[in-house]
Amino acid sequence: MVAIVGRSNVGKSTLLNALIGSKIAIVSPKPQTTRHIIHGVLHDDRGQIVFVDTPGVFKHAPDRLTARLNEKVKEALSGIDAVVYVVDATRHVGDEERIVHRLVAVMDKPKILVFNKADRKQPFKDEYLAWQEEFDDVIEVSALQGTSLKRLVDAVFAVLPESVALYPADQITNIENRFWVEEIIREKIYMAMDKEIPYTTAVKVESTEERPNGLVYVKAFIMTTSPRYKKMIIGHGGAKIREIGSAARYELEAVTGKKIFLDIEVVVEERWMERFE
């Protein structure tokens, strides 16, 4: 388990997606609002690396930051085996960066300092290199262009302890990653429906909950802009929505190895963009 930490906007989510080769984390030019901890699992002949993205952790005002390290974040950082500290040397070291650095400094784990955005000029590199002694390795990458990612993966494998596999061989993220579940449902809508429908719909996963019996209960909404579309998505006697639901469930179960109960509701929501979030 490897935590990817760093100030907001340094490219942590972009890096995670590039490493996994799939869009499992939301990339945004604005600070993230996601409250879920995203695991990105990299599979390789040498084993697997579970990268842990910590979205929304470091986005708050510096003075409130430490107080904001809530249970979720502690949970994300407990049990990790190494830290990838991502910095962006196109910008000065600021207050937020100093606080993240302090958190990293007290972690008693192997650490790799990653200069991201190597495709751009790095005028403030020296400010970050002042910390280099604390790190086992220093690597320059461009998450956007996919440069030197292999070097980073090699460096991570070099510091990771051996352990049992935490994920099945074909699973690339955790079920709590709503974005990923939404993408899977969205894909099944594309496959089941005519072209015009998907553009008028959005998928939102409201909750994922693992029950004591091991069943994962997922509540999702398909939001569409008109009653006519809603009828089409549901289909004759519910045939379409069943087709979409079972295709999505099948894939989620295959990939997670868990039993999934997928509860999908189709709602007309003209302004679905504003409803959630």
- Residue nearest to ligand GDP as judged by C-beta position: 11
Q: How far is the CB of 15 from ligand GDP (least distance, A)?
A: 7
Buried b (16+ CB within 10 A) or exposed e, 51-90: bbbbbbbbbbeeeebeeebeeebeebbeebbbbbbbbbbb
Residue 153 site contact among ligand GDP, Mg ion, none (CB < 5 to 8 Å, cut-off depends on kind)? none
Which candidate, 83, 26, 31, 30, places its Cα nearest to that of 52? Answer: 83
Report CA-CA distances (Å) from 49 to 16, 55, 154.
11, 18, 11
Rank residues 12 and 178 by Cβ distance to ligand GDP and give the closer one: 12
185 binding ligand GDP? (CB under 6 A)? no
In the list 117, 178, 188, 204, the residue contacting ligand GDP (rule: CB under 6 A) is 117
Binding mask 129-158 for ligand GDP (x = CB under 6 A): -------------xxx--------------
40 binding ligand GDP? (CB under 6 A)? no
As a whole number of angstroms, the distance between CA 202 and CA 205 comes to: 10
> Which residue's structure tokens are 């690597």?
139
32 binding Mg ion? (CB under 5 A)? yes
116 binding ligand GDP? (CB under 6 A)? yes
Q: How far is the CB of 11 from ligand GDP (least distance, A)?
A: 3
Q: Do the Cβ atoms of 204 and 223 come closer than 8 Å?
A: yes
As a whole number of angstroms, the distance between CA 184 and CA 97 comes to: 35
Residues that bind ligand GDP (CB under 6 A): 6, 8-14, 27-29, 32, 116-117, 119-120, 142-144
